[in-house]
Chain A
Amino acid sequence: MKWIVAGLLCVATHAIAADARRSGFDDMSPQVQAMQRDDAVNPGMLWVQEGAAMWGRECARCHGDAATSMRGVAARYPSFDTATQRPVTLAQRLAAHQRTTPLAPESDALLSLESFVALQSRGLPIAPPDDPRLRPYRERGEQLFRRRMGQLDFSCAQCHDDHAGQRLGGSTIPQAHPTGYPQYRLEWQAMASLQRRLRNCMNGVRAEPFAYGAPEFTELELYLATRAAGMRLEAPAVRP
């Protein structure tokens, strides 16, 4: 009997070691999880609805049905843009694509379009492109993740790698996997991009946040996508 238990434990710990990564979803209360699961309750669907209307007006003529043409697209960003020879995030791509004046970062219009496109990849694994041109940017993103910053002199890694699962004030420190962006944050009562989240973290350690669309954020997003590779996208997520 002891042997069986020991064997089972061995198998169990091995399974945990295989993927100890947790989406922020796993650490939420059952009530907020239910809110995310049900599209009739998830406030993010209001933005998706607006994004679907925008798609019909502006995008469908070339790109057709988003359910097929945009499937898996959000899972591959940030990716390399050959025109500008730099990596771009999904928001940057959507904001500037075929527009003379790009959509403003964090505007309702951009968040709507981005959440509608992200929804088409819901349930698919995050698949960062294996493009050698992205490598130096990704490495810089990782350095940024480990670099101490701000008056509190904290790096991202100190909380989200070293102390994930423990508590900061009343809330659990998540592992910081970008699985559900754009996401509806109950605290902000609004849809928010990953960069708003990152800026909020930087404010938290009393660092001066990078501007929306800054190259540093693109590099950081690249690293975060690699770190979360294979995890399922769940946009539009709901977070407390």
Chain B
Amino acid sequence: MARALITMPATAKRGDVVEIRTLIAHPMETGYRAGEDGAIQPRNLIRRFTCHYDDVLVFSADLFPAVAANPFIAFSTLATASGTLRFTWTGDKGFTQTETASLAVT
């Protein structure tokens, strides 16, 4: 399990724009660099990030070799109803991680 940080408000008014910021620990190895032994290090990237708000996809991003290690992704969504946000990062070497956060809408 990689370390991940999600920063967002716990509560919001209906119709508010909620800012969500995510940070995950990942090397984002490009597949082009040589290691200390001179051999090319195999590619190890997060390829896709998605956020589902009560099973509705509200944000997704494709990530590429130019993205730095420990990618930071910030986006916003509209607070519609109280529910759960599910964040998923998937990538090379079968990498997959899911985090959840709940949002209470008044």
Asked if B68 contacts A40 (CB within 8 A), the reply is: no
Question: Which 6 interchain pairs have the tightest Cβ spacing?
Answer: A40-B7, A189-B69, A46-B25, A46-B3, A43-B70, A40-B21
Hey, which chain A residues are within 8 Å of B69, CB to CB? 189-190
| B23 engages A41 (CB within 8 Å) | yes
Interface size, A (range): 10 to 19
Q: B21 — nearest CB in chain A belongs to which residue?
A: A40
**A46→B5 contact, CB < 8 A:** yes
- Per-residue CB contact flags for chain B residues 12-28 toward chain A (1 = under 8 Å, else 0) read 00000000010111011
Q: A49 an interface residue at 8 Å Cβ cutoff?
A: yes
Contact residue among A43, A49, A50, A190 (Cβ-Cβ distance under 8 Å from B72): A43
Question: Which partner residue on chain A sits nearest B2 by CB separation?
Answer: A46
B3 neighbours in A (Cβ, 8 Å): 46-47, 49-50
B23: contacting residue among A40, A186, A189, CB under 8 A: A40
Q: Choose from B7, B23, B27 the contact partner of A43 (Cβ within 8 Å).
A: B23
Distance, CA A189 to CA B68, complexed state (A) = 7
| Docked pose: A40 CA to B22 CA in angstroms | 8
Docked pose: A47 CA to B5 CA in angstroms: 11
A118 interface contact, C-beta 8 A: no
Q: Are B5 and A49 closer than 8 Å at their CB atoms?
A: yes
The A-contacting residues of B in range 9-57, CB under 8 angstroms, are 21, 23-25, 27-28
Determine if A46 and B68 form an interchain contact, defined as CB atoms under 8 angstroms apart.
Answer: no
Instruction: Determine if A45 is an interface residue (Cβ-Cβ < 8 Å).
Output: yes
Interface string of B58-91 (1 = CB under 8 A from A): 0000000000111010000000000000000000
Contacts of A39 in B (CB 8 A): 7
Question: Would you list 23 pairs from A and B whose C-beta atoms are within 8 A, ordered by A residue?
Answer: A40-B5, A40-B7, A40-B21, A40-B23, A41-B21, A41-B23, A43-B23, A43-B25, A43-B70, A43-B72, A46-B3, A46-B5, A46-B23, A46-B24, A46-B25, A46-B70, A49-B3, A49-B5, A186-B68, A189-B27, A189-B28, A189-B70, A190-B69
